[in-house]
């Protein structure tokens, strides 16, 4: 599984990354996480507000920080 956290480095983006890493660790999910801060790369996902969570190339959340339960749901579908 490939996970990308899209954001320019704001506190919300950092919170989303920390929360996602914790969910992965706690659930024993095997995944690679990449933090994407380059605005040109972020724009390729056609989002207008960050942070955003991308799982296997699909944007599953944008413009907000999903709860740990939501993140786990996104990753275990």
Residue pLDDT, tens place only, 40-57 = 999 999 998 999 999 999
CA 70 from chain center: how many Å?
Answer: 11
Residue 28 has pLDDT above 90, yes or no: yes
pLDDT value at residue 35: 96
13 is catalytic: yes
Q: How many CA atoms lie within 13 A of 22 on its CB side?
A: 10
* DSSP tag of 21: H
Q: Which residue is catalytic, options 10, 27, 33, 39?
A: 10
Average pLDDT over residues 7-17: 93
Fold entry, domain 2-76: Glutaredoxin (3.40.30)
10 flagged as catalytic:
yes
Its pTM stands at: 0.93
Catalytic residue among 3, 6, 13, 55: 13
Mean pLDDT of 9-33: 95
Report the residue count for the chain: 77
């Amino acid at each position: 599984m490939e996970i990308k956290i899209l954001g320019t480095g704001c506190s919300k983006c950092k919170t989303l990354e920390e929360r996602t890493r914790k969910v992965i660790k706690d659930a024993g999910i095997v995944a690679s996480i990449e933090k994407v801060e380059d605005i040109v790369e972020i724009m390729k996902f056609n989002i207008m507000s960050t942070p955003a969570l991308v799982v296997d190339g699909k944007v599953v959340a944008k413009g907000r920080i999903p709860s740990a339960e939501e993140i786990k749901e996104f990753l275990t579908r």
